[in-house]
Structure 1
Amino acid sequence: MSFLQHSIIWQVYPLSADLRQLKAAADNQPTGSSQPERSGENSSQALTLARLEHWLDYLVNLGCDTLLLGPIFDSVSHGYDTTDHYRIDPRLGTDHDIDSLISQCHRRGVRLILDGVFNHVAASHPMVNYDGPIKRDDSGNPVGWEGHDELVELNHQDPRTEDFVAEIMEYWLQRGIDGWRLDVAYAVPREFWAAVVDRVRQQYPHAVFLGEMIHGDYIELIHQGHLDSATQYELWKAIWSSIKDRNFWELAHALERHHDFSQQAILNIFVGNHDVDRIASIVGDGGAALAASILFSLPGCPSIYYGDEQAFRGLKGEGFGADDPIRPALPDYPEHLAQEGQWLWQVYHDLIALRRRHSWLSTASVEVKDKDNESISYRLSAPEGFLDVHIDIRDKFRADWEFNDGEELHYSW
Structure 2
Amino acid sequence: MKHHKILIYQIFTRLFGNRSYNCVENGTLAENGCGKMSFFDDSVLRRIKKLGVTHVWYTGVIRHASKTDYSAFGIPCQHPAIVKGRAGSPYAIVDYYDIDPDLADDVDRRMEEFEALLQRSHKAGLKVIIDFVPNHVARQYKSVKKPDGVKDFGETDDVNKGFYPDNNFYYCPNESFAPYFDLKGEADDSYSEYPAKATGNDHFDNHPGINDWYETVKLNYGIDYCDAGGRSYHFAPVPDTWHKMRDILSFWAAKGVDGFRCDMAEMVPSEFWYWCIGKIKTDYPDIVFIGEVYNPSLYRSYLGSGFDYLYDKVGMYDCLCRVIRGESAASDITYQWQAVDDIKEHMLYFLENHDELRLASDFLSGNAYKALPAVVVSALLYNNPFMLYAGQEFGERGMDKEGFSGLDGRTTIFDYWTVASLYNGYVNRRKLTSDEKCLEKAYSAILNIAKNEKAVSEGMFFDLMYVNPKSDIFDSHRQYAFLRKADNEVLLVVVNFSDSDVTCGVNIPRHAFDYMQMAEKSVNATDLLTGNTVMLPLKADSAVELNIPAYGARIYKFLV
Regarding TM over 0.5, the answer is yes
Q: Does 1:50 align with 2:34?
A: no
The offset of 1:333, in angstroms, is 7.1
Partner residue, 1:355: 450
Give the distance between the partners of 2:503 and 2:239, measured in 1 at CA: 52
Q: Does 1:375 align with 2:479?
A: yes
Aligned residue runs from structure 1 range 6-405, under 5 A:
6-16=5-15, 46-53=34-41, 55-76=44-65, 77-93=88-104, 94-126=110-142, 127=152, 130-132=155-157, 133-137=167-171, 139=173, 141-146=196-201, 147-157=212-222, 159-217=239-297, 219-233=299-313, 234-248=315-329, 249-262=331-344, 265-281=345-361, 282-283=364-365, 284-299=367-382, 300-314=384-398, 320-322=404-406, 325-327=410-412, 329=419, 330-331=422-423, 334-337=426-429, 338-340=431-433, 341-363=436-458, 364-369=460-465, 370-371=468-469, 372-381=476-485, 385-396=489-500
In terms of fraction of residues, the more helix-rich structure is: 1
Per-residue deviation, residues 132-158 of structure 1 (Å, max 9, x unmatched): 543315636421022322111111126
Partner residue, 2:532: none
Change (3 A) 1:267 1:102: same
The offset of 1:342, in angstroms, is 0.9
Unaligned runs of 5+ in 2: 66-87, 105-109, 143-151, 158-166, 174-194, 202-211, 223-237, 413-417, 470-475, 509-517, 530-547, 551-560
The offset of 1:383, in angstroms, is 5.6
Partner residue, 2:527: 408
Per-residue deviation, residues 292-337 of structure 1 (Å, max 9, x unmatched): 2222221111111101011111159899325794245443972514
Partner residue, 1:32: none
Give the distance between the partners of 1:211 and 1:59, measured in 2 at CA: 24
Quick check: 1:255–1:366 contact (8 Å CA) kept in 2?
Answer: no
Quick check: 1:252–1:376 contact (8 Å CA) kept in 2?
Answer: no
Give the distance between the partners of 1:144 and 1:215, measured in 2 at CA: 21
Quick check: 1:71–1:116 contact (8 Å CA) kept in 2?
Answer: no
Change (3 A) 1:2 1:171: farther
Give the distance between the partners of 1:115 and 1:324, measured in 2 at CA: 23
Quick check: 2:121–2:127 contact (8 Å CA) kept in 1?
Answer: yes
Tell me the TM-score normalised to structure 1 length: 0.84
How many residues end up aligned between the 2 structures?
A: 394
Per-residue deviation, residues 356-406 of structure 1 (Å, max 9, x unmatched): 332342354342423532222233355665433222344527799999883
Letter of the 1:303 counterpart: M
Quick check: 2:12–2:59 contact (8 Å CA) kept in 1?
Answer: yes
Give the distance between the partners of 2:49 and 2:446, measured in 1 at CA: 14
Change (3 A) 1:128 1:313: same
Q: CA RMSD in A?
A: 3.4
SS in 2 for 1:74: strand
Give the distance between the partners of 1:398 and 1:99, measured in 2 at CA: 51
Change (3 A) 1:217 1:405: farther
Quick check: 1:366–1:379 contact (8 Å CA) kept in 2?
Answer: yes
Moved more, 191-200 or 328-337: 328-337
Per-residue deviation, residues 142-198 of structure 1 (Å, max 9, x unmatched): 210223221111111262111211111111111121111101111111111111111
SS in 2 for 1:227: coil
Q: Structure 1 runs of 4+ off > 6 angstroms?
A: 316-319, 397-405
Change (3 A) 1:373 1:246: farther
The offset of 1:355, in angstroms, is 2.1
Percent identical: 20
SS in 2 for 1:245: coil
Unaligned runs of 5+ in 1: 27-35
Rg larger in structure: 2
Change (3 A) 1:170 1:342: same
Quick check: 1:2–1:206 contact (8 Å CA) kept in 2?
Answer: no
Change (3 A) 1:316 1:16: same
Give the distance between the partners of 1:406 and 1:197, measured in 2 at CA: 45
Give the distance between the partners of 2:424 and 2:134, measured in 1 at CA: 31
Letter of the 2:101 counterpart: P
Give the distance between the partners of 1:183 and 1:397, measured in 2 at CA: 41
Quick check: 2:320–2:374 contact (8 Å CA) kept in 1?
Answer: yes
Moved more, 327-336 or 139-148: 327-336
Give the distance between the partners of 2:127 and 2:307, measured in 1 at CA: 17
SS in 2 for 1:118: coil
